[in-house]
């Protein structure tokens, strides 16, 4: 009974982990067609047609891999889908192109200098595709015999018979190979590959000659043809690693374990120079290709003047990724100075940027986004409730109305309802304040709060606040 209860708890834990829903978990790509025209609703993206089309052109530039060190700025009001566009680009690039995402304020909280943190972020965004040839044995298992000593102690011995369509060979097995084959549960009729250098065994599937055993094997069994030609073949293997991973492996005494510990520390410039020289050598010999990836810096106005100067210099390097930045600020102070500039970015860096602008969503688009979020969060919502929620999104903010979906769903489940109704939305709206109602509340009861003198400053200096806070 106790074992059954433990198993049930484990199942619940696994399901909870799998079903975690993030703010942008509904984004599957940029939603563009083959001509790079944006569809109105596609891959989780809604509206922002011009911005998505521009992002699609940048995406093609990244995929070609010819241009490095270009910088793009996505600028717009809060809640207009800047991060969503960046996430869409990441999904469209696929797993082979490195994509690193950091927040502007993140570099100040790490136990290293700002420039080192940015350098590491840059090098995480550049992949090195290394090609190497290896010898493999590939064939169908005819028979596998493993003899265990009668005494129960001593080394196991065995024989493995492999065949292709043209030849058949018997191999003597050592203890290590017997363990590998047992671990992979290899049996007669399997098509396997053995890497001669490492001894790694990989099971490709079952032979088509064993298709009659289908009922015994199960529906998930993969059937493949018996290999042709010789048993021993040369095969090109491609590994993709980032420059940062190579840096860490070569700079730390514990080597690659530092990647798992996260304790990479500061890496010396000499190490990086040697690695750059070695990678350049590999490129000339045709052993490796550089894969320029993407570094996405959200809330880029949080960087200071020293960081912006570093970015200016870093973008000129031939080992630079495509830099994508996002900001919701208007004309505001550059952090670390008393000067104001658009988006809080120095003019010399702004001059290098391709700027993509996002615009506020219309009512129809807000409704579609809320509908997609309801599907993502598995919430059934009535037509009236959706209409009220869209109205709330128009008058307050899209983020606030998205937060109300889960809250209203919980209220609905509490009353044993199956579909979120208008009353559930109204109840959630009355329980949780949006930004404008919270501000109104503060104005009414400011005397009861600590440090209410700040409110007098806000009333006296409206011009200063307008430039720094874009509502």
| Cα angle: 409, vertex 411, 413; to 5 degrees | 70
pLDDT for residue 171 is more than 90: no
The predicted-structure confidence for 209-234, as pLDDT tens digits, reads as follows 766 655 555 556 778 888 888 888 88
Give the pLDDT score at 1: 47
| Cα angle: 65, vertex 71, 74; to 5 degrees | 120
Give the number of other Cβ atoms within 10 Å of residue 296's Cβ.
Answer: 26
pTM beyond 0.75, yes or no: no
Q: Which of 140, 132, 133, 134 is nearest to 231 (CA)?
A: 140
Give the number of other Cβ atoms within 10 Å of residue 10's Cβ.
Answer: 10
Give the number of other Cβ atoms within 10 Å of residue 445's Cβ.
Answer: 10
The predicted-structure confidence for 116-135, as pLDDT tens digits, reads as follows 899 989 999 988 888 877 88
Enumerate domains of the chain plus CATH numbers. Answer: 41-129+242-357 (3.40.50.300), 132-237 (2.40.50.360), 363-444 (1.10.8.60)
pLDDT for residue 7 is more than 50: no
Q: Of the ranges 131-140, 239-248, 252-261, 391-400, which one carries the lowest mean pLDDT score?
A: 252-261
CA-based R_g, the chain, Å: 29
Q: How far apart are the C-alpha atoms of 224 and 207, rounded to whole Å?
A: 5
Give the pLDDT score at 37: 84
Give the pLDDT score at 18: 39
| pLDDT averaged over every residue in the chain | 80
Beta bridge partners of 71: 323, 353
Q: Which of 79, 72, 98 is nearest to 23 (CA)?
A: 79
Give the number of other Cβ atoms within 10 Å of residue 1's Cβ.
Answer: 5
Q: How far apart are the C-alpha atoms of 175 and 362, rounded to whole Å?
A: 68
Q: Of the ranges 22-26, 255-259, 341-345, 435-439, which one carries the lowest mean pLDDT score?
A: 255-259
Please report which confidence band the pLDDT of residue 187 belongs to, taking 50, 70 and 90 as the band edges.
confident
How much of the chain, in percent, has pLDDT values that exceed 90?
Answer: 10
């Amino acid at each position: 009974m106790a074992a059954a209860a433990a198993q049930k708890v484990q199942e619940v834990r696994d399901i909870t982990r799998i079903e975690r829903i993030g703010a942008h978990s509904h984004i599957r790509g940029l939603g563009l067609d083959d001509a790079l025209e944006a569809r109105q609703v596609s891959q989780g993206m809604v509206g922002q047609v011009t911005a998505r089309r521009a992002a699609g052109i940048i995406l093609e530039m990244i995929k070609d891999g010819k241009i490095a060190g270009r910088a793009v700025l996505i600028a717009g009001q809060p809640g207009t889908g800047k991060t969503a566009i960046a996430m869409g680009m990441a999904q469209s690039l696929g797993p082979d192109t490195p994509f690193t995402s950091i927040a502007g304020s993140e570099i100040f909280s790490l136990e290293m200098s700002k420039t080192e943190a940015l350098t590491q972020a840059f090098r995480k965004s550049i992949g090195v595709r290394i090609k190497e040839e290896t010898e493999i044995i590939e064939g169908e298992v005819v028979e596998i015999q493993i003899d265990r000593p009668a005494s129960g102690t001593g080394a196991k011995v065995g024989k493995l018979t492999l065949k292709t369509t043209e030849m058949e060979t018997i191999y003597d097995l050592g203890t290590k190979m017997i363990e590998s084959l047992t671990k992979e549960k290899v049996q007669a009729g399997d098509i396997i590959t053995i890497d001669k250098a490492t001894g790694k065994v990989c099971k490709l599937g079952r032979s088509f000659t064993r298709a009659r055993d289908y009922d015994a094997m199960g529906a998930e069994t993969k059937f493949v043809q018996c290999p042709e030609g010789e048993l021993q073949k040369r095969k090109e293997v491609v590994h993709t690693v980032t420059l940062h991973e190579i840096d860490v492996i070569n700079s730390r005494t514990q080597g690659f374990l530092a990647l798992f510990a996260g304790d990479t520390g500061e890496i010396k410039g000499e190490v990086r120079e040697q690695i750059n020289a070695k990678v350049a050598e590999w490129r000339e010999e045709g052993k490796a290709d550089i894969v320029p990836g993407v570094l996405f810096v959200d809330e880029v106005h949080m960087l200071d003047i020293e960081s912006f100067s570093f970015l200016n210099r870093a973008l000129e390097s031939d080992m630079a990724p495509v830099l994508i930045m996002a900001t919701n600020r208007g004309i505001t102070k550059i952090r670390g100075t008393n000067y104001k500039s658009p988006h809080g970015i120095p003019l010399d860096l702004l001059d290098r940027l391709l700027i993509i602008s996002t615009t506020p969503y219309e009512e129809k688009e807000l409704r579609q986004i809320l509908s997609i979020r309801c599907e993502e969060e598995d919430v059934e919502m009535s037509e009236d409730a959706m209409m009220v929620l869209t109205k709330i999104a128009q008058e307050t903010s899209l983020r606030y109305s998205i937060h109300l979906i889960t809250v209203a769903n919980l209220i609905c489940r509490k009353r044993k309802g199956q579909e979120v109704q208008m009353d559930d939305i109204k109840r959630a709206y009355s329980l949780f304040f949006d930004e404008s109602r919270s501000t109104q509340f503060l104005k009414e009861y400011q005397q009861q709060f600590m440090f209410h003198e700040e409110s007098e400053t806000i009333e006296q200096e409206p011009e200063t606040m307008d430039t720094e806070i874009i509502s």
